[in-house]
Structure 1
Amino acid sequence: MTMLPAEPCPCGRGSSYAGCCGRWHAGAQYLQAPDAQALMRSRYSAFVLGLVPYLLETWHPTTRPAALEPNEPGLRWLGLQVKRHEVLDAAHALVEFVARSKLGGRAHRLHEISRFTREDGRWFYVDGDLL
């Protein structure tokens, strides 16, 4: 899936894709999300858009899988709700979110508390607990 820069960002923040997650996707090696919530939102948008290289690049090397499968054909992402962004210290944060999707006529809900760490000025997704 591709997006036009002026289209609404999939993360639901209310900005254009170019002014929101698109800037992190376009320059992942040069621009880094400023906090864990922005990274989490950009990762949700990357799932929506099937940007597997971005997802792997923003996953901490100690927990990063060797590969990710692309979205299943027919999968539709329906929305993201960030419930909580908790800064634990300068290098650690939590983000609780609910991501909704639909596949084969069945609705799915992913509710997770994700852990993020900051290294060399860059935030990474580490892992999460499903709720």
Structure 2
Amino acid sequence: MWHQIAPILAQRHTVVLTDLRGYGGSAKPVVGADHTEYSKRAMVADQVAVMASFGLDTFAAVGHDRGARVVHRMCLDHPARVRRAAVLDIVPTRHVFPPRTPLRGSRLSPVCVIRPAMRLCSAARRCGARGRRARRAPPR
């Protein structure tokens, strides 16, 4: 999917594409008893380290499916680094998993689903403070 979108995004943005650990051409760490090597926090640490290696202290982050869960965790763990975030094709995290990290004080609204047929707009308009579902975009 990203190989088709990246060239378009690169016309106006700096694009850094990575594989999450254990996916694609990335390293596949040996799994310990508690599986922390594949936790979202471990994957977030990888992504933040990659961005830092390019000298990017703040950045926008976009993730799809598992990557969207990593972007959501990144927003919670590193809110000062993530200027904007888009999470694609996931059920809102707060409806799937019990809350472990409060969103209070975060600059970001609760995570929400963005599908191609939905209007891409600000997180506040898309979800609102109560996490309402996005409205479908009118047909083109």
TM band (smaller chain): 0.3 to 0.5
Bigger relative contact order, structure 1 or 2 (CA pairs below 8 A, ≥6 apart): 1
Q: TM-score, normalised by structure 2?
A: 0.31
Greater strand content: 1
Greater helix content: 2
